[in-house]
């Protein structure tokens, strides 16, 4: 979709429908002269008569007899609570309402939407608009939306060069989110470790600076990745470890992003219950978010050194599968007693984290749908955040607040590390009954000593259930902002 800049000082006639966001105070001062006084008066009467509340999800439509177009008022919620999260929700709500209608041009009043103190800018807005048109398509079909142009209406014209820059970045962010969503939504009989590694290799076409390396099982075995390989040995699908290097600058330590890529998780010998097991195709969402972030950064041609690493395997209960009680040796040399084969994400990640250290990273961030315990503790709204460095955690929180991709930090007290002690190896792969998300993070922490590291448990946030079932693409927007900001 193309974007143009329009002014509020004349009646808006350049679209099929004019979208106007309204707070719960129902004030319309931001319209300027883009709507006639007659229509503003009509809108005010309509708001009173039809009880338009201005809450997110509320809409009212008027026919403008002067321009021949429609004016659609949509709720932004309370002004005092407005920020990236509510903007995203309101944009998705109104786009969902109009995208199936036979429209080609829309215009959007952005006076109420662009708020500098809340870090909302054109780039963020464009990413939300483009993402609102997302639909997973398994087979080729016609695009359900015919909307090709969006005019951004404000009291000043945005210079073309500046607008183009914002739009390019916003579209890149939306493209990265779409990529992550598509990977997550792809059926697990298609999206296996080889498929993910091939999708990573395709990124080379975007930016010639990308260097992509795929390690097969033989190579991983020679490097001592016994923990990662213990997860894949029950499946016919071979594991892959993929590194995506984007290093445009010399002498700058990179940020390394590590993603869990379990393309389907049965639980292995510690078999999961069958209800909702289809959702375990989303267990590669950490890897998907890394791939989506790297795609966006490559499209934006950012001047930052970043490395993406994805550890890909399928966890199946085959005849060669790892058993509870088995002991394996990780790449770091740490031996691990596997007490639960359904705690497999940490087993692939620990070798990937050890591998990541070779880049001498400024920071390591890992993303994983790691524990149901995180979902129990935090619900489906924030991702769980764990870190061995408070300053790094604060930087992540700042990016979370800027993007509306929320996180909540949990502790990593020494007590949790004590729960990983065992008589039969250096550590075991699960803790006690309680605090499962924290003991899982503590396990990963054993492999990140000496490095500033953070872990995001996205088990509750990587996909939606119910009517809107599907991948969310989280935390791509957070990761992009974190890289750009640091």
Token digits for 251? 């002498």
What is the pTM (predicted TM-score) of this model? Answer: 0.95
464 inside domain:
yes
Asked whether the beta carbons of 111 and 30 are under 8 A apart, the reply is: yes
Compute the distance between CA of residue 21 and CA of residue 117 in angstroms, rounded to an integer.
18
Catalytic residues, by residue number, are 272, 346
In this predicted structure, which of 9-23, 157-171, 266-280, 356-370 has the lowest mean pLDDT? 9-23
**pLDDT per residue as tens digits for the range 80-115:** 999 999 999 999 999 999 988 888 999 999 988 986
> Residue 180 belongs to a domain with what CATH number?
3.40.630.10
Q: What is the pLDDT of residue 142?
A: 59
Q: What is the pLDDT of residue 143?
A: 58
Asked if 124 and 249 sit in the same domain, the reply is: no
Cα-based angle 231, 237, 239 (whole degrees, multiple of 5):
50
Q: What is the pLDDT of residue 101?
A: 85
**pLDDT per residue as tens digits for the range 228-273:** 999 999 999 999 999 999 999 999 999 999 999 999 999 999 999 9
pLDDT surpassing 70 at residue 157: yes
Asked if 346 and 201 sit in the same domain, the reply is: yes
Q: What is the pLDDT of residue 146?
A: 83
> Is 8 or 459 the better-scoring residue by pLDDT?
459
> Which string of DSSP letters, residue by residue, matches 123-165?
HHHHHHHHHHT----SS----S----EEEEEESSPPPHHHHHH
Q: What is the pLDDT of residue 463?
A: 97
| Band of residue 116 on the pLDDT scale cut at 50, 70, 90 | low
Asked if 285 and 201 sit in the same domain, the reply is: yes
8 inside domain:
yes
Between β-strands 335-337 and 327-329, what pairing exists: parallel, antiparallel or unpaired?
A: antiparallel
Instruction: Report the Cα 463 to chain-centroid distance in Å.
Output: 10
Mean pLDDT computed over 360-367: 98
442 inside domain:
yes
Asked whether the beta carbons of 365 and 444 are under 8 A apart, the reply is: no
pLDDT surpassing 80 at residue 118: no
pLDDT surpassing 80 at residue 64: no
**pLDDT per residue as tens digits for the range 205-232:** 999 999 999 999 999 999 999 999 999 9
SS3 88: helix
402 inside domain:
yes
> First-to-last CA distance in the chain?
30
Compute the distance between CA of residue 152 and CA of residue 114 in angstroms, rounded to an integer.
11
In this predicted structure, which of 60-64, 157-161, 302-306 has the lowest mean pLDDT? 60-64
pLDDT surpassing 80 at residue 439: yes
Mean pLDDT computed over 312-338: 98
| Band of residue 38 on the pLDDT scale cut at 50, 70, 90 | confident
Round the average pLDDT of the chain to a whole number and report it: 94
Asked if 139 and 243 sit in the same domain, the reply is: no
110 inside domain:
yes
In this predicted structure, which of 91-100, 303-312, 369-378 has the lowest mean pLDDT? 91-100
| Band of residue 195 on the pLDDT scale cut at 50, 70, 90 | very high
Asked if 136 and 284 sit in the same domain, the reply is: no
Q: What is the pLDDT of residue 119?
A: 64
pLDDT surpassing 80 at residue 140: no
Which of residues 125, 154, 183 is at a domain's end? 154
160 inside domain:
no
Asked whether the beta carbons of 272 and 280 are under 8 A apart, the reply is: yes
Closest by alpha carbon to 397, among 388, 413, 412, 386? 386
Which of residues 154, 183, 210 is at a domain's end? 154
Stated as kind and residue range, the H or E segment containing 72 is strand 70-75
Mean pLDDT computed over 457-479: 97
Asked if 281 and 430 sit in the same domain, the reply is: yes
Question: Residue 297: left (phi > 0), alpha (psi -120 to 50), or beta?
Answer: alpha
Asked if 148 and 188 sit in the same domain, the reply is: no
Question: Which percentage of the chain shows pLDDT scores above 70?
Answer: 97
Give how many domains the chain has, as a whole number: 2
237 inside domain:
yes
Closest by alpha carbon to 366, among 463, 235, 255, 231? 255
Compute the distance between CA of residue 379 and CA of residue 384 in angstroms, rounded to an integer.
10
Asked if 212 and 350 sit in the same domain, the reply is: yes
The domain of 86 spans: 2-154
Strand partners of residue 311:
241, 260
Mean pLDDT computed over 469-485: 97
> Residue 42 belongs to a domain with what CATH number?
3.40.220.10
124 inside domain:
yes
SS3 265: strand
Place of tokens 């909302």: 120
Asked if 402 and 310 sit in the same domain, the reply is: yes
Q: What is the pLDDT of residue 117?
A: 58
Asked if 42 and 191 sit in the same domain, the reply is: no
Which of residues 154, 187, 221 is at a domain's end? 154
Asked if 180 and 320 sit in the same domain, the reply is: yes
SS3 384: strand
Question: Which percentage of the chain shows pLDDT scores above 90?
Answer: 84
Stated as kind and residue range, the H or E segment containing 365 is strand 363-368
Q: What is the pLDDT of residue 34?
A: 85
Compute the distance between CA of residue 157 and CA of residue 155 in angstroms, rounded to an integer.
7
Compute the distance between CA of residue 56 and CA of residue 54 in angstroms, rounded to an integer.
6
Mean pLDDT computed over 411-427: 97
Q: What is the pLDDT of residue 11?
A: 72
Q: What is the pLDDT of residue 144?
A: 64
Asked if 211 and 145 sit in the same domain, the reply is: no
């Amino acid at each position: 979709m193309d974007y143009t800049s329009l002014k509020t000082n004349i009646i808006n006639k350049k679209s099929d429908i004019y979208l106007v966001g309204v707070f719960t105070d129902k004030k319309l001062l931001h319209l300027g002269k883009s709507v006639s006084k007659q229509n503003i008066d009509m809108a005010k009467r309509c708001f009173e008569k039809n009880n338009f509340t201005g809450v997110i999800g509320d809409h009212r439509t008027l026919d403008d007899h002067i321009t021949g177009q429609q004016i659609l008022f949509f709720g932004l919620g309370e002004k005092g609570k407005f920020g990236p999260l509510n903007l995203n929700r309101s944009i998705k709500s109104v786009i969902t309402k109009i995208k199936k209608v036979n429209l080609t041009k829309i215009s959007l009043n952005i006076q109420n939407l662009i708020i500098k103190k809340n870090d909302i800018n054109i780039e963020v807005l464009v990413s939300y608009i483009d993402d609102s048109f997302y639909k997973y398509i398994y087979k080729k079909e016609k695009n359900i939306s015919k909307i090709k142009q969006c005019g951004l209406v404000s009291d000043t014209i945005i210079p073309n060069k500046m607008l183009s820059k914002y739009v390019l970045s916003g579209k890149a962010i939306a493209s990265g989110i779409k990529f992550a969503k598509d990977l997550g939504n792809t059926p697990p009989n298609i999206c296996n470790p080889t498929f993910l590694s091939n999708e990573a290799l395709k990124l080379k076409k975007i930016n010639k600076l990308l260097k992509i390396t795929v390690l097969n099982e033989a190579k991983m075995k020679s490097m001592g990745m016994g923990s990662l390989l213990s997860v894949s040995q029950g499946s016919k699908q071979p594991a892959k470890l993929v590194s995506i290097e984007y290093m445009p600058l010399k002498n700058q330590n990179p940020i390394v992003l590590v993603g869990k890529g379990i393309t389907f998780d049965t639980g292995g010998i510690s078999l999961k219950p069958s209800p909702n097991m289809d959702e375990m195709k989303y267990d590669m969402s950490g890897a998907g978010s890394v791939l989506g972030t790297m795609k966006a950064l490559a499209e934006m041609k950012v001047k930052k050194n970043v490395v993406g690493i994805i550890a890909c395997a399928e966890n199946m209960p085959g005849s060669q599968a790892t058993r509870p009680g088995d002991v394996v040796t990780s790449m770091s040399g740490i031996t691990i007693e596997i007490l639960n084969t359904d705690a497999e994400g940490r087993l692939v990640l620990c070798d990937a984290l050890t591998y990541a250290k070779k880049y001498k990273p400024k920071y390591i961030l890992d993303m994983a749908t790691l524990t149901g315990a995180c979902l129990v503790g935090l619900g489906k709204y924030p991702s769980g955040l764990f870190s061995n460095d408070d300053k790094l955690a604060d930087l992540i929180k700042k990016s979370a607040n800027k993007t509306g991709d929320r996180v909540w930090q949990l502790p990593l007290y020494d007590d949790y590390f004590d729960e990983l002690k065992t008589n039969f190896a250096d550590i075991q792969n699960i803790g006690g009954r309680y605090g499962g998300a924290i003991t899982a993070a503590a396990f990963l922490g054993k492999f990140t000593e000496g490095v500033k590291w953070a872990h995001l448990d996205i088990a509750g946030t990587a996909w939606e259930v119910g009517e809107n079932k599907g991948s969310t693409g989280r935390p791509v927007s957070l990761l992009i902002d974190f890289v750009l900001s640091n």
